């Protein structure tokens, strides 16, 4: 069935493009990379921020003259960027203007359970949620999205997601590209399918989750960005429901990865490709200095277009890629109090963790506040087949000790909150629980999470 729908879509798109050339006036604008606005702090007091988010319905013009019904925070699709600094006290004011319950989960944020915004912090229709928390973690790119049982996947698919940028003294001292919207650009990468009338097609293929046939970045289909001949930092978020992205540049040139989920890596890593699975982030720096005005370079996932960089004029560039970015203290293995096993099983609806499906009334795991644990996470292949799962834990950042007994790649030697566990692979992570309350851990393929591939852990003060 799904193949049929995709087929109709691509035919339709093709015919629209070739028959109505006057539409190209708007198609240029349609394809410019949208830069999400910065969320405004309404509190004039230094050190305390008050932020307002409305969860609302809207319509978005993705292609031609078609309007797609979408959801957004303070807008039609996606949301503004909450840019803040370590130490800041934040009061959030969130109102739900949908006809449905929602929640706002701060993915990657280290905070207590009641402020986490998971399935236990539901915001009713026409209700508000006003959590407060203090930013107490290193500079990083985090994100936020809904997390209500039964509607997480569809609400994200319709557009609910936004970015959090945390800075700290160290990140500000490094002279990295950090002018938001100028040389510091978020790339929220997703994929979506559309109907002939422009509406989204939510095609959960039952095995791998909902995958779309069009790549969308910051809410525009395979957009372009005009860049100068200088360094740009891109904050990449895999905001897809279910897709992994294997990102590289069309000329196979090198860029630098400087951060993983939970913050800066110790040193920049020169690489030609990066892999992100749903929920993961990576910050990279591309230096466009080596190109000429008029050059075009594409960002691809495997061989598929993600977006295009159009190289413009030369520019003075005072930013640097320092040899050393930060210091990451290794969590001390000798302090581990328990070693736990996480078995990820199945595909489609037949998914489970340690043989069980999610139950809101069951705490799967108890942890003492401040404890350090090792989790051994395995993706088991079953009779249905093999697949990997992006495994995520709320409220903490962990470190990867090994993949199948081998040292993880350099890009995974920083802070992580989501790790892709390949089929038949065992990933050992070390994690410290510094915040109290009930937290989720789950597969970040949202259709797997919805099908019950999620558990709850409770961190209790002794
Ligand atoms: Cu991105 Cu349970 O979250
Ligand atoms: Cu999360
Ligand atoms: Cu999964």
What are the extents of the domains in the chain? Answer: 2-173, 184-314, 333-460
Atom of ligand 1 nearest to the CA of 442: 2
- Render pLDDT for 99-142 as a digit per residue (tens, 0 to 9): 999 999 999 999 999 999 999 999 999 999 999 999 999 999 99
Atom of ligand 1 nearest to the CA of 143: 1
Residue identified by tokens 């934040």 is 90
**What's the pLDDT at 28?**
61
Q: What percent of the chain has pLDDT over 70?
A: 93
**What's the pLDDT at 206?**
65
Quote the CA–CA distance of 193 and 186 in Å, as a whole number: 22
pTM higher than 0.80: yes
- For residues 246-266, average pLDDT: 98
CATH no. of 184-314? 2.60.40.420
Is 440 touching ligand 1 by the criterion CB < 6 Å?
yes
Q: Which two tokens stand for residue 157?
A: 């698919």
Is 86 touching ligand 1 by the criterion CB < 6 Å?
no
From residue 273, alpha-carbon distances to 241, 329, 424 in Å are 21, 26, 23
Quote the CA–CA distance of 348 and 289 in Å, as a whole number: 45
What's domain 2-173's superfamily in CATH?
Cupredoxins -  blue copper proteins (2.60.40.420)
Is 281 touching ligand 1 by the criterion CB < 6 Å?
no
- For residues 320-328, average pLDDT: 98
**What's the pLDDT at 17?**
34
pLDDT over 90 (residue 373): yes
The secondary structure of residue 321, as a DSSP letter, is -
pLDDT over 60 (residue 188): yes
User: Which residue, by CA, sits nearest to atom 1 of ligand 1?
Assistant: 107
- Render pLDDT for 52-102 as a digit per residue (tens, 0 to 9): 999 999 999 999 899 999 999 999 999 999 999 999 999 999 999 999 999
Going by pLDDT thresholds of 50, 70 and 90, the confidence category of residue 170 is: very high
SS3 7: helix
Rounded to 5 degrees, φ, ψ at 19 are: -95, -30
**What's the pLDDT at 207?**
73
Is 160 touching ligand 1 by the criterion CB < 6 Å?
no
Is 403 touching ligand 1 by the criterion CB < 6 Å?
no
Torsion of CA 293, 299, 305, 309, to 10 degrees: -30
pLDDT over 80 (residue 4): no
Atom of ligand 1 nearest to the CA of 394: 2
- For residues 262-289, average pLDDT: 98
Task: Name the residues around ion ligand 3, CB cutoff 5 A.
Answer: 389, 443, 445, 448
- Render pLDDT for 381-423 as a digit per residue (tens, 0 to 9): 877 778 999 999 999 999 999 999 999 999 999 999 999 999 9
pLDDT over 70 (residue 12): no
Atom of ligand 1 nearest to the CA of 145: 1
For residue 390, report the distance from its CA to the centre of ligand 3, in Å.
6
Task: State in words which class domain 333-460 has.
Answer: mainly beta
- Render pLDDT for 201-252 as a digit per residue (tens, 0 to 9): 998 876 788 999 999 999 999 999 999 999 999 999 999 999 999 999 999 9
- ∠ CA 152-155-159, nearest 5°, is 135
pLDDT over 80 (residue 1): no
Task: Say if CB 310 and CB 279 are below 8 A apart.
Answer: no
Ligand nearest to the CA of 380: 3
**What's the pLDDT at 348?**
85
User: Which residue, by CA, sits nearest to atom 3 of ligand 1?
Assistant: 107
For residue 251, report the distance from its CA to the centre of ligand 1, in Å.
34
From residue 13, alpha-carbon distances to 6, 291, 301, 456 in Å are 11, 32, 21, 44
**What's the pLDDT at 23?**
39
pLDDT over 60 (residue 26): no
User: Do the domains at 2-173 and 333-460 have one common CATH topology?
Assistant: yes
For residue 246, report the distance from its CA to the centre of ligand 3, in Å.
18
């Amino acid at each position: 069935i799904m193949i049929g729908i995709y087929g109709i879509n691509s035919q339709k798109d093709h015919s629209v493009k070739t028959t109505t050339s006057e539409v190209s006036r708007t198609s240029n604008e349609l394809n410019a990379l949208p830069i999400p606005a910065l969320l405004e702090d309404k509190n004039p007091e230094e050190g305390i921020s008050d932020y307002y988010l409305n969860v609302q319905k809207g319509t978005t013009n993705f292609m031609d003259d078609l309007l797609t019904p979408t959801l957004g925070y303070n807008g039609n699709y996606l949301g503004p960027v909450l840019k803040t600094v370590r130490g800041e006290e934040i009061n959030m004011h969130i109102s739900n203007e949908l006809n449905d319950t929602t929640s706002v989960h701060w993915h990657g944020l280290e905070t207590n359970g009641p402020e986490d915004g998971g399935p236990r912090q539901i915001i009713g229709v026409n209700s508000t949620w006003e959590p407060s928390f203090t930013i107490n973690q290193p500079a990083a790119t985090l994100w936020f999205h809904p997390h209500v049982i039964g509607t997480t996947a569809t609400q994200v698919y319709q557009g609910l997601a936004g970015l959090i940028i945390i800075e700290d003294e160290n990140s500000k001292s490094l002279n990295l590209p950090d002018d938001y919207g100028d040389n510091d650009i978020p790339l929220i990468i997703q994929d979506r399918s559309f109907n002939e009338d422009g509406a989204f097609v939510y095609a959960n293929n039952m095995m791998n989750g909902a995958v779309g046939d069009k790549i969308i970045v910051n809410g525009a289909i395979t957009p372009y960005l005009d860049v100068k001949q200088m360094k740009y930092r891109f904050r990449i978020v895999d905001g897809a429901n279910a897709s992994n992205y294997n990102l590289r540049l069309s000329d196979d040139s090198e860029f630098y990865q400087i951060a993983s989920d939970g913050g800066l890596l110790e040193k920049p890593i020169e690489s030609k490709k990066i892999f992100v699975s749903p929920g993961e982030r990576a910050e990279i720096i591309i230096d466009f200095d080596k190109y000429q005005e008029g050059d075009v370079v594409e960002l691809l996932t495997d061989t598929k277009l993600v977006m295009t960089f159009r190289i413009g004029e030369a520019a003075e560039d005072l930013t640097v890629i320092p040899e050393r970015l930060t210091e990451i203290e290794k969590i001390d293995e000798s302090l581990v109090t328990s070693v736990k096993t996480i078995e990820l099983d199945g595909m489609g609806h037949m998914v489970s963790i340690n043989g069980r499906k999610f139950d809101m009334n069951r705490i799967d795991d108890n942890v003492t506040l401040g404890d350090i644990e090792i989790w051994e996470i395995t993706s088991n292949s079953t009779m249905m087949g093999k697949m990997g799962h992006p495994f995520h834990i709320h409220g903490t950042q962990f470190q990867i000790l090994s993949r199948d007994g081998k040292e993880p790649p350099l890009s995974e030697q920083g802070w992580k909150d989501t790790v892709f566990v390949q089929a038949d692979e065992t990933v050992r992570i070390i994690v410290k629980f510094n915040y109290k309350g009930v937290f989720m851990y789950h597969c970040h393929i949202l259709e797997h999470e919805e099908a019950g591939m999620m558990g709850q852990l409770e961190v209790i003060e002794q």
